[in-house]
Structure 1
Amino acid sequence: MTLFYAFLLLYCTSLTTYAQKLPDLQTNSVSAPATTRIDGKNLEWNTFSAENKRTGLLYTIANDDKNLYLALKATSSEVINKIFAGGISFSINAKGKKREEDASTITYPLVVRNNANRGAGGQGGTSRQRMGQGRADQSQEQKDSTAFEQRKAQLAAIKEIKVKGFNITDSLISIYNEYGIKAVAKMDEQKAYFCEIAIPLAALEVAVNDKKEIAYQIKLNGRQGGNFTQRINSGVGGFGGGNNRGGFGGGNNNAAQQDLMVATDFWGKYIIQK
């Protein structure tokens, strides 16, 4: 019996330790794993450095001698909807100031939405009605599965990264670019969104030997402009769900839709070290 209670105490202690919450902001420098590959597969980042409450994102910022990395994960359906609505912007201010104006920014993913169902005249409306009726007949599990497959296809179709700064004149660059900037995202088998970004330190004009403190911003852009109600009702953009709920559901429908239209962000500091 004594052995049983000792085991029970050890088990409860382990659960308590495991359940300890991550900090809201990453406060330490992290050496990127030597095996890091920007492929959208969460093989190197078994744990994250922070879980930001404002955005609902798990994330780690790390560096090696050549690159600055961002790995992030979203598990909430509402947060994933927001990512697919307007992408995530990752801004770095090499001067250490929390100012977007002086920062270099990557926005990813840029989801291309299928407008095929928006036919001319009454045909488009009829098509959307049929889609809505089909979703209404589905179980929640079927709706989630449909949205999951749609999101995977949308991510696979992305061909560009939006950039600002970096001494790059174009606002859009190919995912296969000459600047060494990389970004890949995928949906994992637990239906979570996972993304990896790599930025050459040379593009930020910093070096590991400088031990330079930079400021970073991570922003969920949300949907900017457009007929939001129409897009939700038509199920466009990977929102999923039926009955015109847009995948939000429950009594929080209005609050979730409003949140989708508003950008949420946070700033932090990171010291690049060798």
Structure 2
Amino acid sequence: MNKLKTMCLTMALCTGAAAYAQKGGNIQEGSVRAPLNVKIDGKLNEWNDDFQAVNKTTLLTYSITNDDNYLYLVLKTADQTASRKITAGGISFTINTANKKKEQDAFKLVYPMIDGNAMRGAFQRPGGQGGQGGPPAGAVVVVGGMAGGGMGGGRPFQMDSATLASMHKATIDAAKEIKLFGFKDIADSVISVYNEYNIKAAIGYDAKGALTYEMAVPLKSLGLSTDSPKEFAYNIKVNGIQMRMGPDGGHGFGGGGMGGDGPRGGGEMRVDVVRVDGGGGSFGGGQGGPPPGAFAAMQSMFSPTDFWGKYTLAKK
């Protein structure tokens, strides 16, 4: 009897450890009921910082959950490059109810869709000779989805806490649109977060500056039900910034990632020069220059990262 109890206890401990390991895995495994009284406000209070997976490709900590009415995507990232990519180009959340890891014939939502042109003025700085380092005068700097002008040569620009708080608030205030693809009763279009379809989304920042994100999609709009749950495939993509040549030969930046997630994600931010090679018009100008790793960081801003997973709706 004692031996049997020991075996049962060992099995229970092992099972618990395995469940914990799965929860902290690279891709979520298993179905999860959402907490009661979910409020989509970007603050994540009801989720208690309890996420199902930490994805190494996208640098996102995330959970997919559901109740009887909604499918939820909840995530956060403390990585600044990932955070900037999200606010510049949005996250594409693709749901293939045929359980195929393909975007074709799938539902897709892109959020946030931030208009960089509307926000650029608040963070634009004139160029100069010396002072703080940065891109050349007339260039546009993508910082957490914001845009600012060049700042002369010298030391790298350091953002103080008040400016950072102001930037976060402006980003949240501007994140008011969602782009939809593949919904039968909704034309492919950009809609407000205040919409008649009950699709909800919000972003925020926690006390440590990590970007937080919530999305709720009605199950009925996906043709899903907890009465007869079935497995489906999903994709989460942190979109890169698109660079397009403008009519005058200049470069235009737009969010939404590669492959047609739309031209508006990053507000079609314009730049005159983007160089980090130390030549004329390079970062910093004069005696200044890009900080270590600047080129790699810029490259990553243009590179979408994504992963596929599978999920089955959790019953009550």
| Residue matched to 1:57 | 60
What are the within-5 Å matches in structure 2 for residues 31-180 of structure 1? 31-46=33-48, 47-113=50-116, 114-116=119-121, 117=124, 125=137, 132-133=150-151, 140=158, 142=160, 145-167=162-184, 168-180=186-198
TM-score, reference length from structure 2: 0.67
* Structure 2 SS opposite 1:39: coil
- State percent identity of aligned pairs: 42
Equivalent position amino acid for 2:178 in 1: I
Q: CA deviation at 1:79?
A: 0.8
Greater Rg by CA = 2
Mapped partners of 2:193, 2:171: distance in 1: 14
Mapped partners of 1:96, 1:127: distance in 2: 44
Q: Which has more helix, going by share of residues? A: 1
Alpha carbons of structure 1 residues 91 and 208: separation in structure 2 relative to 1, 3 Å: same
* Structure 2 SS opposite 1:251: coil
Q: CA deviation at 1:171?
A: 1.1
Q: CA deviation at 1:243?
A: 4.7
Equivalent position amino acid for 1:23 in 2: G
* Structure 2 SS opposite 1:44: helix
Equivalent position amino acid for 2:101 in 1: K
Number of residue pairs the alignment of both structures matches = 239
Q: CA deviation at 1:98?
A: 0.6
- Check the 8 A contact 1:223/1:260 in 2, yes or no: yes
Alpha carbons of structure 1 residues 232 and 193: separation in structure 2 relative to 1, 3 Å: farther
Across the aligned residues of Structure 1 and Structure 2, the Cα RMSD in angstroms comes to 3.2
Q: CA deviation at 1:125?
A: 4.0
Equivalent position amino acid for 1:80 in 2: S
Equivalent position amino acid for 1:256 in 2: A
Alpha carbons of structure 1 residues 231 and 176: separation in structure 2 relative to 1, 3 Å: farther
| Residue matched to 1:220 | 238
Deviates more, 1:165-174 or 1:102-111: 165-174
- Check the 8 A contact 1:94/1:214 in 2, yes or no: yes
Mapped partners of 1:49, 1:169: distance in 2: 33
| Residue matched to 2:30 | 28
Equivalent position amino acid for 2:217 in 1: I
What are the within-5 Å matches in structure 2 for residues 178-217 of structure 1? 178-217=196-235
Alpha carbons of structure 1 residues 191 and 95: separation in structure 2 relative to 1, 3 Å: same
Mapped partners of 1:263, 1:118: distance in 2: 29
Mapped partners of 1:196, 1:136: distance in 2: 39
